[in-house]
Structure 1
Amino acid sequence: MDCDRSILDTTNSFLLQEVAPKANEIDSDPQALFEALQGLGKLGLLALRSDKQVSEATFGDFQELIARYSGALAFVQTQHQSAAAMLSTSNNSTLKQAYLPQMSNGEVLIGVGFSHLRRQGEPLTLAVPVAGGYQLDGIVPWVTGWNLFQHFIVAATLPDGSAVFGIVPFVQTSQKSRGEITFTAPAQLAAMISSNTVSATLTRWFLPQERVVFIKPPGWIHENSKNNILRPTFLATGCAFAGLDIIEAAKESKSLPFINDAFDSLLQELTQCRTLIREAQQKSIGTAERLQMRAWAIDLATRIAHAAVTVSSGSANYMHHPAQRIYREALVFTVTGQTTAVMEATLQRLTGGDEKTRGQAEDTSVRGWRSEEYVRGQGDTGTWETLSPPLPIPPSPHLPLSSPYSRIIHLSHTIDTDIPQWQGDPPVEFDTVAKLEKDGYYLRRFSLGEHSATHINAPKSFHSFGVGIDKYPAESLVVSAVVIDIRAKTAVNSDYVLTVADILAWEEEYGEITAESVVILYTGWQEKWCDKDAFFNQDAEGSLHFPGFGSDATQFLLNERQIAGVGIDTHGVDSGQDTTFTINRLVLEKPRLVLENLTNLDQLPPRGAMLAIAPLLLQNGSGSPVGVLALVP
């Protein structure tokens, strides 16, 4: 039990630090997904189902945690975990010894390709016994992990209806015997596109006996799916928790009572659903009841994801918005491991048909277990009894929904020698002064300007009477943040500046900006950071074109809203056309905050985040490169 708890603690810490801040990138970029997968491997977490390293309940919690922070990572690592579990039950000891030790740490990554066995009609992939093994021919329509996994376990149907499972390379390959495996380009999926899902075609592929994992009898796939109806529910409930994270952030930032009510109601229902599923794992219950629990988890994930979109308002229409990603992930988990029985149960749940099955009144205002009472089936007999709902249990300590914040995000760019630099600023330089092999430790000296990379400006930079960065008190560097998204306007006008009308429109949707907040302008320029020309957008006459704060808007924020400062994802809060640094001069008439070259603003809510700002306390500094952390509710 202590070992299981340690695994979950380790997983939670890794996900919060390394995965949550990059969830959108992991969803779309195969390299980011691969790095996250390798991160799990370095922790030895990629073969938990082999040799029963953890209990079934703990593995469910593990799956739920990953799905909460990244659907793509959850989906892909599930394929590898399944391959490891299959190998661990194989009688092929040579194959097990060759692969299993390296699968746990991610040195070898293996996918699976056998879902086609569930299809009705003629088999898509056939196996014929030949000398020394089997010849495989046919199509595997769905294999996840192209360029992520090195191999995959393929299944093909033998003449007697049984299925042979074996390891084949996950790369286009030809054999001397003229056998070959070819793959399509990755499918353009609606979600988790980074998973690189392809179709494989095997032509006269020779599978030697020593590469065979096992042979399963006819109908094995259907029996296996029936026995594991509840296993995919943890992907759905993890996705549901991801949606609740967004709703809770909206609850805190918008202060609308009906959002509080929705959050409390959905959390209670999700807690009840998880409780019953975990109870079912420990008991022998009927297939009908397990199907209804599976359908309930699917329904909850889609409803909570839809609610997350709802509370996010128009922002959820952006492809990069977390609510948009989570909603699409909920749809993927709806059909993950789907059988016709699961499809039927899901449709009954969505159309209310399960109420009649349970003997509930047709005019009830809730479905099934959402009412003040819920019903539990008795085996497969079709009889039902009405029970009082269980009291809500507190969320797992690995799902800290009630903690002050759910994730921490870096808002600072990595510093290297090739970052965009203001003309005339000193270059970024690194010099090695000690080497590990020679001195026993590694050490570098670095130099850069006070206004390089993500940085903070001090009054001394623009006013002779101004204080240096070393005079800022610590309490002034922890502040709440509001984010005003003007990307729609900067996309058509790179010289756009924030107006008072923009501020009032934002307040109409999110409430009045509170005093002592930092107002951050999200222009979309963070996406141009790796392209210096696009970042500064200099024309033939030498003028710069990037957005910023308008003078009237800044005066309004300082005088009417009493803000603590401003921030932006461009190189300056002054627009590129403002060569007199009007905004910096206005804001820094007092020791306020001016943050420039911020990044990851797409991961912040419009309001509710707290910033922890850590400049170097350079004596009399005009500013400083700065580490900015956002604590997101």
Structure 2
Amino acid sequence: MTVATHPLVARARLLADDLLAPHAERVDQAGVPVSHVEAVKRSGLLGVGAPAEYGGAAAPAAVARRTAEILAGACCSTWFVTTQHYTPVKLLAASGLPVRERLLRPLASGELLAGIAYAHVRAFPRVPVRAVPERGGWRFDGTVPWYTGWGLNDVMLLAGVTDAAEVVFAFAEAREQPGLRPSPPMRLAALTASRTVSLRLEGLWLPGKAVVLRTPQKEFAVVDRPRNTNASPAVFGVADAALALLDGVPEAEETARSLRTRLDETRERAYALWDHPVPHERIEERLALKTRSYDLMRAATTAAVVAGGGRSLDLDSRAQRLFREGMFLLVQGQTAEVRRAHLGHLGD
């Protein structure tokens, strides 16, 4: 079975063509609806890489990347809400703690959707959220700057850092509760539809059985680094969608052909590094391909806007939506290392 013929790729394409893409401009303005999330849950895509014995598909990484491209290109807001789910599933699959048996099956099967509240850990030695042992569990205090999918997620993966520089990951219900208060939804230039808020934590207490991982911050940083230095499948998905808008535009044919060739070559090289057996090696090459993918996405979305002319200024225009989504992807999951590499590349 190839990636192209995998059943989950077919389901992603059906979902994209029948539901996500036709409604993407409306969702962009009104917000990701519960019905979109329920459709993704039913599709089986939330368990793409989860263990089969827990109801997942245990599909190869290449299948997960391809489905991400398809969903992001169809409706980046829906993709962004649902893509938060995969890290919690991965952590649970690797964990030997009791929370695995409680949550892995409902998350792998799509019964529940998970969000993430741990990107702030990358700010270390600054500690936006502190974790303190208390009453057989953990108390969390501070501010989670970004939390996506509020009102759509069932559970969240929350992280805090202890005074001993240990990162504590634990699951909490994704709802307002004592010690946890969300901000109003953020108004963003792109992906406002993703229902992103900040979370104020004031003595949120979680039991010890909610913990999925405790690890030194230095070890977390080593494992986390490749996630941000690799090129994102969503970037390729948005670029593909923008180039599709050039089909049938005679004056854009040569531009589209050139960009597709370079995009496919970059994707092939970038994904080869995704599959490299040592994920924290060849970092400079990974960053170079990541910034090249940004260049190509930016060129593709710009070409779509130019080809659309004045119509691209309409909020119902697919071209301008993809252009704004591309802007969002330039900073999504950005670290200081990625920012330096990207700015250095732009200055060359």
Q: TM-score if structure 1 supplies the norm length?
A: 0.52
Distance across 2 between alignment mates of 1:44 and 1:319: 32
Instruction: Say which of 158, 169, 175 aligns to 1:171.
Output: 175
Is 1:166–1:212's contact at 8 Å kept on the other side of the alignment? yes
Distance across 2 between alignment mates of 1:347 and 1:122: 23
Q: CA deviation at 1:228?
A: 2.4
Tell me whether 1:336 sits opposite 2:332 in the alignment: yes
Distance across 2 between alignment mates of 1:201 and 1:265: 48
Per the alignment, do residues 121 and 183 of structure 1 end up closer, same or farther by CA in structure 2, a change over 3 Å counting? same
Residue aligned with 1:173, SS: coil
Q: What whole-Å deviation, never above 9, does each CA across 1:339-370 have from its counterpart, x for those lacking one? A: 1111122122323x2xxxxxxxxxxxxxxxxx
Corresponding residue of 2:116: 112
Is 2:147–2:199's contact at 8 Å kept on the other side of the alignment? yes
Is 2:231–2:293's contact at 8 Å kept on the other side of the alignment? no
Is 2:32–2:195's contact at 8 Å kept on the other side of the alignment? no
The aligned runs of 1:225-264 (5 Å cut-off) are 225-229=224-228, 231-249=230-248, 251=249, 255-256=250-251, 259-264=252-257
The aligned runs of 1:229-628 (5 Å cut-off) are 229=228, 231-249=230-248, 251=249, 255-256=250-251, 259-283=252-276, 286-351=282-347, 353=348
RMSD over aligned Cα atoms: 1.8
Q: Give ranges in structure 2 of 5+ residues lacking alignment.
A: 52-56
Is 2:231–2:270's contact at 8 Å kept on the other side of the alignment? no
Q: State the identity as a percent.
A: 25
Distance across 2 between alignment mates of 1:306 and 1:330: 10
Corresponding residue of 1:207: 206
Q: What whole-Å deviation, never above 9, does each CA across 1:278-328 have from its counterpart, x for those lacking one? A: 222333551100111111112211121111111110111112210111011
Q: CA deviation at 1:105?
A: 4.0
Q: Give ranges in structure 1 of 5+ residues lacking alignment.
A: 175-179, 354-633
Bigger strand fraction? 1
Residue aligned with 1:300, SS: helix
Q: CA deviation at 1:31?
A: 4.9
Q: CA deviation at 1:134?
A: 1.2
Q: CA deviation at 1:56?
A: 1.5
Deviation beyond 6 Å, 4+ runs, structure 1: none
Residue aligned with 1:40, SS: helix
Distance across 1 between alignment mates of 2:87 and 2:230: 11
Tell me whether 1:91 sits opposite 2:87 in the alignment: no
Distance across 1 between alignment mates of 2:160 and 2:213: 11
Residue aligned with 1:191, SS: coil
Distance across 2 between alignment mates of 1:223 and 1:312: 44
Q: CA deviation at 1:240?
A: 0.5
AA at the equivalent of 2:25: N
Per the alignment, do residues 194 and 126 of structure 1 end up closer, same or farther by CA in structure 2, a change over 3 Å counting? same
Distance across 2 between alignment mates of 1:230 and 1:247: 30
Distance across 2 between alignment mates of 1:223 and 1:234: 21
Residue aligned with 1:155, SS: strand
Corresponding residue of 1:150: 154
Bigger helix fraction? 2
Is 1:40–1:105's contact at 8 Å kept on the other side of the alignment? no
Distance across 2 between alignment mates of 1:100 and 1:26: 30
AA at the equivalent of 1:117: V
Higher relative contact order (CA 8 A, sep 6+): 2
Q: Number of aligned pairs?
A: 339
Is 2:84–2:116's contact at 8 Å kept on the other side of the alignment? yes
Corresponding residue of 1:128: 132
Is 1:232–1:336's contact at 8 Å kept on the other side of the alignment? no
Distance across 2 between alignment mates of 1:114 and 1:54: 26
Bigger radius of gyration: 1
Corresponding residue of 1:481: none
Per the alignment, do residues 31 and 225 of structure 1 end up closer, same or farther by CA in structure 2, a change over 3 Å counting? closer
Per the alignment, do residues 295 and 225 of structure 1 end up closer, same or farther by CA in structure 2, a change over 3 Å counting? farther
Is 1:50–1:85's contact at 8 Å kept on the other side of the alignment? yes
Q: CA deviation at 1:45?
A: 1.2
Q: CA deviation at 1:218?
A: 1.7
Q: TM-score if structure 2 supplies the norm length?
A: 0.92
Per the alignment, do residues 120 and 214 of structure 1 end up closer, same or farther by CA in structure 2, a change over 3 Å counting? closer
AA at the equivalent of 1:143: Y
Corresponding residue of 2:13: 12
Distance across 2 between alignment mates of 1:38 and 1:209: 30
Residue aligned with 1:186, SS: coil
Corresponding residue of 1:23: 24
